[in-house]
Amino acid sequence: MKANVVLEPQPEGGYTAFCPVFPGCVSEGESREEAVTNFLDALEGWLAVKSELAQSAAPSRQKRELVEVAL
């Protein structure tokens, strides 16, 4: 899967990184590269939380399988 990450330069220096596909997942870095790396780290946590919430919200009578995919 590919997604576009938005990089916004900050007035005080550094960058903020976010992706509209993953609302609420935001990170920062001193450089563009660091901001993207930090965003990818934050995205791992964001996806883990979303997965846990989906699993806990699923009725127990349904059979679901969690499959890991590379991004």
* pTM (predicted TM-score): 0.73
The per-residue pLDDT string of the chain (71 residues; one tens digit each, 9 = 90 and over) reads: 889 999 999 999 999 999 999 999 999 999 999 999 999 999 999 999 988 887 776 666 667 777 888 88
DSSP 19: -
Domain chopping of the chain, boundaries = 6-57
For the chain, helix, strand, coil in percent to 5 are 35, 15, 45
E strand or H helix at 26, and its extent? Answer: strand 26-29
Q: What values do phi and psi take at 10, rounded to 5? A: -100, 145
CB 25 within 8 Å of CB 18: yes
